Chains A and B, each alone.
Chain A
Amino acid sequence: MSIAETAGIVVVGASLAGLRGAEALRRNGYSGRLTVVGDEPYRPYDRPPLSKHVLSGELAPDATGLPELDTLDAQWRLGHAAVALDRAARTIRLANGTGLAYERLLIATGAQARPWPAASGGGLEGIFTLRGRDDAARLRTALAGGPARVLIVGAGLIGCEAASCCRDLGLPVTLVDPNPAPLARSLGTWIGSVVADCLRDAGVTFHAGAQVLRFAGDASGRVVRAHLADGRAVEADLVIVALGATRATDWLKGAGLMADAGGVTCDGACRVLGADGTPCPDIYAAGDVARWPNPLYGGRLMSVEHWGNAVAQAAHSGRNMLAPADDQRTYHHLPAFWSSQFGINIKAVGLSEGADAVAIVQGSRASRRFLAVYGRAGRSIAAVSFDQARWLPAYAEAITAGRAFPPIRDASDQGDYLALAPGFPPPRAASTLIEARHG
């Protein structure tokens, strides 16, 4: 089949996965027409610095551009999101009304920040979310204006990184989270409590187990305080809503694909499934938006919202898009993420979800330099390092191989070994509450 002279390949999504996918197509020998569609008016940029160096003012928002392959030779359609997909006509429609034909499609639309609902004060001035470059630029400007108090809703990775930055800027910060500790969902409360100590030492007021019900504004529509479910109020003139993200799949409604707010479902080769469950040979997905059966987890459907997955899955999908039907390779991925906050480099591999035990196998919790492993039913499933990332590959290998928990005893800096309950919140309790309340 020749797709070289015709509509060619269209990549929807001009962020990390879109760019890496386009590059993979070229690297694998595709020389035909290549179009990249993006909803923002910018060439691909890197998001991790947005909640770190951009907020602190060390890096300008427009200095985050990703390096691009010299020979990419793509047509960029930026500034207008894709709003509809017509599989029969093999076209997508953009927000400005124009149509775009494709021979093959790579869906890499990512995710969007979960907004605060307007009914509970979401429209007030001074309330921010943080996902894109413009969000970061607006928030940076507001922080530089010296707010009297910053309130951050949600103590996940973005919320904690923002809290760390705000304290570096000398701003008073209150952080509110429904769980007993920060990062509870990704690391459990036992490890999360180390971050709670960091928050406290840095002077952040942390309300654990608390929920914001609504925001109140002044006469001019500016936010002035938040009302919590326990009756307390927090005075704040700047609010950062950090409640995670939803997959950007709205535009696929009516396209006859298996897609919802949790992602677009693919087969093991990252081919998108039609509503009847059969893979579309001409539509692939990659990055945050892609939900696929990960063989490392017994074929469980998952989508992984991390940088490393965007890069690896895009490369994989790009390769499969050009390969014949009998040479479609299955995508295996061990999830991994990192975060910088309070002067600590946190790095994790595996999925800690469902862990029934956690143990520090190197270093100590007191020194805040350690390596902890998570186990489930006697197997090692995840590991996290605080300023000890150099050892992580050894654990990643053990987790991939499904070794016993803990995979490594006798480390050179092993303290007294003790396996404890990791303390994970009940599955999705927090977000269900929020979604239920606002939905």
Chain B
Amino acid sequence: MAEDTLFSEVLDPANRANPYPIYARLRETPVSPQRDGSIVVSGHAAIRSLIFDPRLSSEDLPPSRRPRTGNPLKDWLLNPIKDRIATAHRPLIFRDPPDHDTLRHAVMREFSVARVQALRQRVVRDVDTLIDACRGRDEVCLVEDLSYPLPVSVICDMLGVPEADEPQFQAWATQLATALEPDARHDEASRHRTVAAFDAISGYMRALIRAKRRRPTADMLSALAAPGPDGKAVMGDFDLISTAILLLVAGHETTVNLITNGMLTLLRHPGELERLRADPERAPRVIEELLRYEPPVHFRTRKALGAIEIAGQTIPKGAPVILLFAAANRDPARFDDPDRFDPDREDNQHFGFGGGLHYCMGAPLARIEAEIALVALCRRLVAPRLMADPPPYRPGASLRGPERLGIRISGIAPGQS
């Protein structure tokens, strides 16, 4: 009884603050069939092998329902089903090669080192401004004061979405992110809210893309909307809209967790907080260890297109496969003393950004934002103390992080800039 309901315990909000003991039990069977027919993979070696297995699909549609004509609108008219996101506008995280590769290649060309590095100074300024705004207070609410507004403002800037418009799509972004949560995906009402949010944000993006075409600016959306080097569109309009939405939602819903989980972890390990404060050069090590120890995305779901033999089990054809990255990150078969937060760890090949062909496109940006934010928080918050441990969590089991993180402080030290 207990063994096939372990994953439902992961989804249970009561376990959100500390899912790791459940992960440890799941790992006893690294490839673990659940009662509903899904397979939970929690071992590091098994995940490593599966993310490079061509039979593992990210498509959430059977082939018969996939777009066929190359014209999404026509596909939808020919194949009218309720869930329009499914047929016409699936973002690339829900697609397989070769379409996935074409879209990803186009995005990665724009997600360049130069473009990300150019944002560094801006992130430093933003962080200082956000922390400055907390002056005179004796407590900070980290999520609303910094972890949420920082990545949102950065992704808006990078994409070319006017920040003044941001409040109107906050709620849409939160709703769309539930597409990664099994509970929400199975809830009909939530699915309808997701479709509505998608329609609304699509309308916004469509208008914005039209404006970028009329008057291109130096941002990513203008670049993706412009013809490629060969004079042809780098991607169709439907894909452009879904890609823009994907980047925007990812910017809203993931880095927030990295920064908040990061500060929470440092406050629980005051020695490490002190070391980072004294030596900001440690930031990359600290961030990599955070990505292993408290990753922003805990799992992703795939589907087995054929039977796959792995770790003494057979994943049956058609089974949903849940890649539990956060559990693999603490696999004692892969990491020494895995439940210890240790930024000095040398061998740290974590799945904090996932892995394989869907590896996080925004990883370099997330690393820069988290480094700058955490270093500034450590240096500027005077005598920070957690107000509640554990803090209240957001509902997501996959995109997991605190809803609020109250930190009591004795003042704000001056900024760098």
**Residue ranges of A at the interface with B (Cβ–Cβ < 8 Å):** 361-363, 367, 369, 371, 390-391, 393-394, 397, 408-414
Contacts and interface: CB of A to CB of B under 8 A. Distances in A.
A369 B357 CA distance: 15
B56 interface: yes
6 contacts: A390-B52, A394-B52, A394-B54, A411-B54, A413-B96, A413-B98
A361 B306 CA distance: 13
Interface in B323-369: 356-357
B318 to A, nearest CB: 10
Contact of A412 (B52, B97, B317): B97
A412 B59 contact: yes
Q: Is the interface of A mostly helix, strand, loop or mixed?
A: mixed
A369 B54 contact: no
Contacts of A411: 54-55, 305-306
- Of A361, A367, A371, A410, the most chain B CB neighbours within 10 A belong to A410
A363 B97 contact: yes
B19 to A, nearest CB: 29
Contact of A408 (B54, B58, B97, B356): B54
Interface residues of B, number: 18
A390 B357 contact: yes
A372 to B, nearest CB: 13
Interface string B278-319: 000000000000000000000000000110000000000100
Given A412-B56, A413-B54, 20 more contacts: A362-B54, A362-B97, A363-B97, A363-B98, A371-B54, A391-B52, A408-B54, A410-B55, A410-B306, A411-B54, A411-B305, A411-B306, A412-B54, A412-B55, A412-B57, A412-B58, A412-B59, A412-B97, A413-B97, A414-B54
B357 to A, nearest CB: 6
Helix, strand, loop or mixed for chain B's interface?
loop
Contacts of B356: 390
B402 to A, nearest CB: 35
B386 to A, nearest CB: 42
B12 interface: no
A390 B54 CA distance: 9
Contact of B55 (A367, A371, A390, A408): A408
A32 B295 CA distance: 48
Interface string B67-98: 00000000000000000000000000000111
B61 to A, nearest CB: 12
Contacts of B101: 369
Nearest to A391: B54
Interface in B20-77: 49, 52-59
A408 to B, nearest CB: 6
Nearest to B356: A390
B98 A369 contact: yes
B98 A393 contact: no
Nearest 10 CB-CB pairings of A with B: A410-B306, A411-B54, A412-B96, A410-B305, A413-B97, A412-B57, A391-B54, A394-B53, A410-B55, A413-B98
Contact of B306 (A369, A393, A409): A409
From B54, B57, B59, B101, residue with most partner A Cβ within 10 Å: B54
A367 B305 contact: no
Nearest to B59: A412
A408 B306 contact: yes
B106 to A, nearest CB: 15
Given A393-B52, A394-B52, A394-B54, A410 B317 contact: yes
Nearest to A410: B306
Nearest to A367: B98
B245 to A, nearest CB: 23
Contact of B305 (A369, A371, A391, A412): A412
A211 to B, nearest CB: 39
A57 B52 CA distance: 35
Contacts of A363: 97-98
A393 B55 CA distance: 13
A187 B53 CA distance: 23
Interface string B254-280: 000000000000000000000000000
Contacts of A410: 55, 305-306, 317
B107 to A, nearest CB: 17
Contacts of A393: 52
A413 B59 CA distance: 11
Contacts of A394: 49, 52-54
A413 B66 CA distance: 13
A389 to B, nearest CB: 10
Nearest to A401: B309
Contacts of A391: 52, 54
A397 B310 CA distance: 12
A413 B53 CA distance: 12
Contacts of A361: 54
Contacts of B96: 412-413
A363 B54 CA distance: 11
A305 B356 CA distance: 30
Nearest to A392: B52
A266 B53 CA distance: 36
